[in-house]
């Protein structure tokens, strides 16, 4: 079952961010929420993730969901090595082969040689790769991503998006990915929801028509789709 947000209301300091808001998100796909900064995208993820609560309304389809969260910043424990950071979220999980799961995910994000490094010894991009590996280690069926590529330079960003897709193809979970960047939305998103400024409504829903080869900034079709989406973005 997908995730259904029904009649959601949420205000911050008397500003209505969500007013009678409805949204259905599919399962086992990457749904991308694209919207201008400050439109309440993070709040939406936080409500789905149970970090904050809506003022009223309901979110259905979460009962069977186990959530991994990739935050804007890596959020690693500075006193734990890369490996121990992944193991930290697995501590209270009943899983066999935890070592193998950690090894496999570190390998996919290309950090197998850094497993004993502390976060302070890694670059920003490497730290965010650890956070992505941590999300995939955890036996979740829903991954929430809150603009985890925001602070990275373009080259790193494209590399990380490819890494993410590689991980996801081996292990297809439901993903809700929030961004204000159309490029990111077109590379990662399968369903793209364009949000308005608050109070939020879904201005447009796109099904991403691009195939793998077309997911390239220099591709004409990519450029065409990008412009099409831009027309709807505030």
Partner 1 sequence: MKISITKNKFITVLSVLFLIGLWKAGSMIVASELILPSPGKTAIAVGKLFINEAFIRIVGATILRGLIGFFISFLLALILGIAAGINDSFYAFLKPILVTIRSTPVISFILLALIWFDVSQVPVFIALLTMFPFICTNIIDGIRNVNPKLLVLAKVYRVKTRNIIRDIYLPAISPFIFSGISSAMGFGWRAIIIGEVLSQPRYGIGTFMQNAQTYLLVDKVIAWTIIAILLSYLFDHLIRSVENKVVVWN
Q: Which region, left, alpha or beta, applies to residue 49 given φ > 0 means left and ψ of -120 to 50 means alpha? A: alpha
Is residue 1 a contact partner of residue 148, using CB atoms and an 8 Å limit?
no
Under the binding rule (CB under 8 A), the answer on residue 65 touching partner 1 is no
Cis peptide before 199 (omega within 30 of 0): yes
Q: Which of 9, 65, 73, 199 binds partner 1 (CB under 8 A)?
A: 73
Number of shown-chain residues binding partner 1 (CB under 8 A): 22
Task: Map residues 78-97 to x or -, x wherever contact with partner 1 holds by CB under 8 A.
Answer: xxx-------xx-xx-----
Query: C-alpha angle with apex 200: 28 to 172, nearest 5 degrees?
Result: 10
Nearest to 204 by CA among 214, 215, 189: 189
| Residue nearer to partner 1 on the CB measure, 121 or 227 | 121
Nearest to 30 by CA among 194, 142, 149: 142
Under the binding rule (CB under 8 A), the answer on residue 67 touching partner 1 is yes
Alpha-carbon span 54 to 171, nearest angstrom: 31
| Residue nearer to partner 1 on the CB measure, 68 or 163 | 68
Q: Minimum distance between the CB of residue 137 and partner 1, rounded to whole angstroms?
A: 10
Q: Which of 75, 98, 197, 203 binds partner 1 (CB under 8 A)?
A: 75
Q: Minimum distance between the CB of residue 46 and partner 1, rounded to whole angstroms?
A: 9
Q: Which of 26, 57, 65, 71 binds partner 1 (CB under 8 A)?
A: 71
Alpha-carbon span 49 to 67, nearest angstrom: 7
Q: Minimum distance between the CB of residue 77 and partner 1, rounded to whole angstroms?
A: 6
Residue for token pair 């991503």 = 145
| Residue nearer to partner 1 on the CB measure, 114 or 206 | 114
Q: What is the largest CA-CA distance in the chain?
A: 50
Under the binding rule (CB under 8 A), the answer on residue 120 touching partner 1 is yes
| Burial zone of 203 (CB within 10 Å; 0-12 exposed, 13-18 middle, 19+ buried) | middle
Q: Which of 43, 68, 208, 225 binds partner 1 (CB under 8 A)?
A: 68
Termini Cα distance of the chain: 31
Q: Which two tokens stand for residue 202?
A: 């879904």
Under the binding rule (CB under 8 A), the answer on residue 138 touching partner 1 is yes
| Residue nearer to partner 1 on the CB measure, 126 or 192 | 126
| Residue nearer to partner 1 on the CB measure, 174 or 208 | 174
The residues binding partner 1 (CB under 8 A) are: 49-51, 66-69, 71, 73, 75, 77-80, 88-89, 91-92, 118-120, 138
């Amino acid at each position: 079952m997908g995730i259904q947000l029904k009649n959601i209301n949420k205000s911050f300091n008397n500003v209505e961010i969500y007013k009678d808001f409805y949204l259905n998100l599919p399962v086992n796909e990457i749904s991308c929420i694209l919207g201008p900064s400050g439109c309440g995208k993070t709040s939406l993820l936080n409500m789905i993730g149970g970090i904050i609560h809506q003022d009223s309304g309901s979110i259905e389809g979460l009962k069977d969901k186990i959530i991994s969260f990739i935050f804007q910043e890596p959020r690693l424990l500075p006193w734990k090595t890369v490996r121990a950071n992944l193991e930290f979220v697995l501590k209270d999980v009943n899983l066999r082969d935890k070592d193998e799961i950690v090894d496999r995910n570190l390998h996919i994000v290309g950090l197998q040689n850094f497993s004993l490094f502390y976060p302070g010894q890694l670059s920003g991009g490497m730290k965010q790769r650890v956070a992505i590996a941590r999300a995939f280690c955890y036996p979740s069926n829903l991954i929430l991503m809150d603009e985890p590529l925001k602070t990275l330079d373009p080259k790193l960003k494209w590399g990380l998006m490819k890494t993410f897709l590689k991980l996801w193809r081996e292990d297809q979970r439901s993903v809700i990915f929030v961004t204000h960047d159309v490029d990111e939305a077109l590379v990662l998103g399968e369903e793209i929801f364009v949000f308005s400024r608050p109070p939020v409504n879904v201005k447009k829903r796109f099904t991403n028509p691009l195939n793998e080869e077309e997911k390239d900034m220099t591709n004409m079709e990519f450029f065409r789709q990008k412009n099409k989406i831009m027309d709807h973005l505030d």
